[in-house]
Structure 1
Amino acid sequence: MSRFLLHADRAAGRLAHGPAHGGQINCVDRSRCCPARRDGLVWSADRIASENQILREDTGLATLYMPFDPLLFFADAGNGDLFALLSRIDRPDVFAWNHEDDSRTWVAPSLAKYIEWRLTGQIEL
């Protein structure tokens, strides 16, 4: 998980511009903030861990959706859909999970491109 956040921090540091908006700063460690988290593009490490645990342990969700095990959710689109990396496959692609139809759609070839494309409006759900 820490390699993921370091990668997000580096990618966002190159791409994110402008000040943080009130209430949007979530830091993994209080000594420094990841611009990707500041801009709402990537959850904090605590939220990544808790959201993924909740999704995997909820027996009601298990009856409605395909397994979440291959996915590592790290952000939300603000409409109930979530963004994820493939946690068990050595593939850097980012996918969007649609909560209404359980589809998983490719949205970016890497975390860096995901951040760039979200910042520039190229990814909209």
Structure 2
Amino acid sequence: MWREIASEFQNIELQGPADEKSLNLIERQLDQIVPQSLRELLLETDGIAGRYGTDVIWSAGRILGDNLAFRNDEQFRSLYQPFDDLMFFGDNGGGDQFAFVRSRERDEIFVWDHETDSRIWVSGSLEHYLRKAIGSDGEDWYRG
């Protein structure tokens, strides 16, 4: 399903599938369940690169690495609200990151604005997010 959605758009780069082992590692290391929609997507393609230098969906390795880095960075701890309730999985190429909220397992997507530390709802599902992000005309498709 996910490869078919992405193939509807031009200039999209798909990867080979992630394996269950890497997804299980994310869950163990972050102590959070990978949302079912993201799990299914990663098992079809381990990341989706879009236009404008964006990584619309990160690889499983980057999801783990970046989330651990955000949570463990001392500077981030002093500058921003905690990231422990979020599972980042993509970015806009300009510093803003997209995430699922995991404190209450939700399917909605939020954007973390790196300049204001705000966390704003942008989509009710991964499919909607994906279509908007790769079908947009710019990196700030989610702004009002």
Q: How would you bin the TM-score normalised by the shorter chain?
A: 0.7 to 0.9
Which residue number corresponds to residue 95 of structure 1?
110
Which residue number corresponds to residue 58 of structure 2?
43
- Aligned-pair identity (%): 33
Which residue number corresponds to residue 106 of structure 1?
121
**CA separation of 1:109 and 1:69: change in aligned 2, threshold 3 A:** same
Task: Describe the SS at the equivalent of 1:75.
Answer: strand
On the 8 A contact 1:36/1:42 being kept in 2, the answer is yes
1:42 aligned partner, one-letter code:
I
Which residue number corresponds to residue 13 of structure 1?
3
1:36 Cα offset (Å): 5.4
Task: Describe the SS at the equivalent of 1:41.
Answer: strand
1:13-36 C-alpha deviation (Å, 9 max, x unpaired): 242125766xx554425xx86185
- After superposing the two structures, state which structure 1 stretch, 37-46 or 92-101, moved more: 37-46
**CA separation of 1:25 and 1:115: change in aligned 2, threshold 3 A:** closer
Root-mean-square deviation (Å) = 2.5
Q: 1:34 aligns with which of 36, 45, 56?
A: 45
1:61-110 C-alpha deviation (Å, 9 max, x unpaired): 00100010110000011000000001221211100000001001110001
Which residue number corresponds to residue 119 of structure 1?
134
CA distance, structure 1, for counterparts of residue 122 and residue 74 of structure 2: 28
CA distance, structure 1, for counterparts of residue 75 and residue 49 of structure 2: 32
Which residue number corresponds to residue 74 of structure 2?
59
CA distance, structure 2, for counterparts of residue 37 and residue 54 of structure 1: 21
Task: Describe the SS at the equivalent of 1:99.
Answer: coil
Q: How many residues align?
A: 111
1:111 aligned partner, one-letter code:
L
**CA separation of 1:76 and 1:67: change in aligned 2, threshold 3 A:** same
**CA separation of 1:38 and 1:79: change in aligned 2, threshold 3 A:** closer
TM-score, length-scaled by structure 2: 0.66
On the 8 A contact 2:46/2:58 being kept in 1, the answer is no
2:45 aligned partner, one-letter code:
C
Structure 2 unmatched ranges of 5 or more:
20-42
CA distance, structure 1, for counterparts of residue 135 and residue 10 of structure 2: 16
Structure 1 unmatched ranges of 5 or more:
1-9
CA distance, structure 2, for counterparts of residue 15 and residue 70 of structure 1: 28
